[in-house]
A and B are shown apart, each in its own frame.
Chain A
């Protein structure tokens, strides 16, 4: 009992450090900074590198880690966040998501993905109170955090620069007008936040004893939830949220095991968003002042495409390619087609309803598992399982996301990311070992097991998907959904039930994600939870944004470039992710409407 409480405090300690950084940056820039998440993993790896590899003493390594993280944080702000934040906060958030993927994978390239044993720099169980054991290490961590927090609050309360940070967070325009150099204040906030992230990362590995480059995203998400729990933008709230979440999580894990962690974390997030969207100490208006939907998506007009292109593309992609190309190209082609199906469906949510959902891996996983289980255990035909997979994905994803649609701005993106992650976490809890031997589809008795057969099936499904999304856009329903995306307030004022239509758009997208998941499952014949990562979600978003969020055929082009070209160039997985990240940042920065859209 007491042990669990101490474990919770130590975890909470780390979350609090991270959450303060997230809240600080959110306060002064109004951007949720995913890049911050990477500093947890990076801090851990750098500390491991300096201490275990270079043999530096820990007390020298620690400030070095902080300096490197602070410098990288500054770079991220100068190069990516600040140029976008003023005009397109949502685009800035997406870019930070891409940056976090780039940082994680660069760190993986540098340090490899394996778990490294973190050197024991301080004794971990040399002290005890009653029957409870703890170490100097734990005391030092809590002591450093307490010092940092007290220092920070004194700085923010009494320091001239600290007051400028608060003023900027409360009213950026007014801060500018009294002569506060808001740009410098924002840079400084990034530096502080990144250093705090690095510190938290070092503490995680001190506490857990191992370091891993990709550990950042999970810890980061948890720290973000802590910040949201306390109230985004409120620094006291971030500390409170960090400790509360750490303790809740520790007790949850002691009851239900370690796999329950993500579920607990996202359950907390959803409850906060529904019950008290401003967080424990934040104010609700904090959310109301965020940008509404629409923002940067769907601006500009599509490039004019000559009419003959459509039949030509259909003949080329659907008839010529399958009979000319070799198996390697066709296998790549199936991936392109499946992602095009998922992404084309996603344009309804992202392009029409104007909601940048970040958790599409969730419905994709539901579709894959539904289809696999139906065909394997109930011996249902693939052709029946395919649409059922879509329906089940739509229903489950809609139910789980239903609390999300009442919230606004960045919260929607994060909440959907949370829902998607939680879905995969639940699957991992129930079926951790994956499913083997998923039957291949058959057609009139013959198994469709060649790349060519898969290609033709996928191409057919894509043609149907494009037809449906195309018809939907032209329908009355489609126009109502688009009205929600282009001006939510106006739509609401015209009597459109905005929440319901967003949910409906998401259900349509989840349906096609489920279909895509089913196609993938039957092609791979093996699935496990590690396939359906946040990266998969990022990929779907990147494809759609690259092709133009409001163009279903743009999804095909995006998929062709991002999946096809990357495969044919034979990028390694890490390089590929870095490339996705760079593409996303560059497109969002220079062609926010997508490559097929000309901005006015």
Chain B
């Protein structure tokens, strides 16, 4: 089976700082994969490399077999990756509907976009109620929903989510994770979930990777990782050979 997303030996540097040193990971069709790691372990940089928001110095990013390492973000969105940015980041002074349409920016099939808009309103009734409201006035949980719905508007095969639970109340955290699992089940969309909270993320994922100082320190199925004592050490910043 060919992977939907594959990173092969990816290196990224910010000036003299070597942020990613040979990261390799895969996400299969319809799979939920967690990317874990502590602060400054390279999670966000990996996301940026996948989305084309930073220059990859060496290595290859493949999307459904196509080498997209040096393609624009817009191209990757058209090819099937979309993203839920860190800290949600909806367009605050645009309405809920306008935010959703922005998510479909790369699409040219007007009828299909209109259908998807209806579908999002069905999936997220709260957003339908607030369709003409400015996104900046929504609550944190609603903004998170909007960011997810916006990501789905491009009809992605893979959604990358950068710490979707950050800054949410504990009760909402579970709700958001349930929501992600549900979307994965119902729409068959694959999810790459970047998280700090390992146990929460692994609870809905099938597999996981743990980053430490820019390298994959551990990999395995969710169950394996949850039982692995080294995961805690990795979080303390000690690189552990996988």
Contacts and interface: CB of A to CB of B under 8 A. Distances in A.
A508 to B, nearest CB: 33
Contacts of B151: 178
A180 B83 CA distance: 13
A170 interface: yes
A167 interface: yes
A163 B102 contact: yes
Contact of A171 (B16, B76, B91, B154): B91
Contact of A179 (B91, B92, B94, B105): B105
Interface string A172-187: 0111111111000000
Contacts of B85: 173-174, 177
B74 A170 contact: no
B221 to A, nearest CB: 29
Contacts of A170: 91-94
A176 B73 contact: yes
Contacts, number: 67
Contacts of A178: 77, 82, 102-103, 105-106, 150-151, 154
A99 interface: no
Interface residues of B, number: 28
A166 B91 contact: yes
Given A178-B82, A181-B72, A163 B101 contact: yes
Contacts of B91: 166-167, 170-171, 174-175
Given A177-B83, A178-B82, A166 B106 contact: no
B90 interface: yes
Interface in B132-168: 150-151, 154
Contacts of A163: 94, 98, 101-102
Contact of A176 (B53, B93, B154): B53
B143 to A, nearest CB: 12
A160 interface: yes
Q: For the complex, would chain A's binding face be called helix, strand, loop or mixed by DSSP majority? A: helix
Contacts of B15: 600
A155 to B, nearest CB: 14
B131 interface: no
Nearest to A179: B77
Interface string B96-118: 00100111011000000000000
A175 B53 CA distance: 11
Contacts of B82: 177-179
Given A163-B98, A167-B94, A167-B102, A179 B89 contact: no
Given A178-B105, A180-B102, A166 B78 contact: no
Contact of A175 (B76, B78, B98, B102): B102
Interface of B: 15-16, 51, 53, 72-74, 76-78, 82-83, 85, 89-94, 98, 101-103, 105-106, 150-151, 154
